[in-house]
Amino acid sequence: MFAQLTTDPGESGFHAPKVGDFFPGPIVEGAPGWLTKYTILVAIAVVAILAFFLLAYRDPKLVPTKKQWFAESIYGFARNSISQGMIGPEGVRFAPYITTLFVFIAAMNFFAILPGVQTSPNSHIAYPLVLGLLSYFIFIAVGIKKHGAGRFFKNHLMPPAPWFMQPLLIPIEFISNFIARPLTLALRLFANMFAGHMILVVFTMGGFALLGAQNILLKPIGILSFLMAIALTFLEMLVVILQAYIFSVLSASYIGGALADEH
Amino acid sequence: MALAEVFGNLSAVGYGLAAIGPGIGVGLVFASYIQSTARQPESARITQPFVWIGFAVIELLALLGIAFGFVFAGDLA
């Protein structure tokens, strides 16, 4: 009986999610190859963000309406806490970029928990990679513009240390500052959304499989599995905002490091 | 007859082992934050961004385990 309990997959069977699920084809037959679910979701996110901020700030009042207050507090948070907190007084210049990054990533991540969609463009490595490379180029460009190429690279490659340590330190600094930064920015966001989607699919599909199992004892566990899926959706809600926040905080701190006078 | 046999894939066990380190690390980050906040509550706002940066950097190690699990499995598509 125990063997049946553990191995009997039931009629519907259980199909673990595959990596291939994250590479959907064109949305309809015959559409061009780039027109996948993800590109459409990105377009929706862009339009929604534009519409929200334009509508919220179309007719600004001294005493803000609810919508205006919401938009202003998002921008205020990104400007005061993230930009100025990480970069310093100069951070106001970068507040638009940081805010855009924060809101755009949050909106794209939000698709991961939106019922009916439940997949985020960020669970495809291409989208986080572009965002990571954007932050990477911006922090290098900003640093070179402020200090000149020589001093910028000297600040970022040569930590203050005795000269005989430099052959050891320069490669380490190079890898951590110029190779790992865009990669880790992209991978962190990607892996979070990827794993989040994977977990939700496992619990939801597992719930169906267990409900459809022939063994009556397994059916209640199917309910438990669905409840776990719901609980983990709330956890994902936290991850959605947290990852957007972390991405923008790290971008801001890279820019802040590039602008800093001394290492 | 084999004494013990393993079916399927050991990568889940491997990932579990790989997640121990980041788990301890993330625990240390938040433990330190709670401690410092308890000792000096007015520093809570100042240290918060660094908590999240530290958390993100450590958490990445566990996430690399997820990504590279699939990379080394060799069946990405």
Residue A62 lies in a domain: yes
pLDDT digits (tens, 9 = 90+) for A39-77: 999 999 999 999 999 998 888 888 888 889 999 999 999
Which candidate, A141, A262, A199, places its Cα nearest to that of B15? Answer: A199
Residue A23 lies in a domain: yes
Residue A131 lies in a domain: yes
Contact check, Cβ <8 Å, A246/B70: no
pLDDT above 50: residue A118 = yes
- pTM beyond 0.90, yes or no: no
pLDDT of res. A14: 66
Mutation for A interface: B30, B45, B63, B72, most A CBs within 10 A: B63
Residues 49-68, chain B: which have Cβ within 8 Å of A?
Answer: 49, 52-53, 55-57, 59-60, 63-64, 66-67
Q: How many CB pairs under 8 A join A and B?
A: 45
Mean pLDDT in residue range A111-116: 88
pLDDT of res. A2: 41
Beta bridge partners of A162: none
Range of the domain at A150: 16-259
Residue A255 lies in a domain: yes
Count of domains in chain A? 1
Q: What does the H/E/C string look like for A74-107?
A: HHHHHHHHHHHHHHCHHHHHHHHHHHHHHHHHHH
**Nearest Cβ partner for A19 among B55, B60, B70:** B70
Q: Is A74 on the interface with B (CB under 8 A)?
A: no
Contact between residue A111 and residue A117 where contact means Cβ atoms under 8 Å apart: yes
Residue A206 lies in a domain: yes
**Structure tokens given for A254:** 């890279």
3-state secondary structure of A26: strand
Q: What is the ipTM of this complex?
A: 0.76
Residue A11 lies in a domain: no
pLDDT above 80: residue B55 = yes
Contact between residue A260 and residue A235 where contact means Cβ atoms under 8 Å apart: no
Residue A1 lies in a domain: no
pLDDT tier at A3, thresholds 50, 70, 90: very low
Enumerate the residues of chain A whose CB falls inside 8 A of the CB of residue B71. none
Measured CA to CA, the distance from residue B57 to residue A181 in angstroms comes to: 10
Q: Greater confidence, B16 or B10?
A: B16
Residue A27 lies in a domain: yes
Mean pLDDT over the full length of chain A: 86
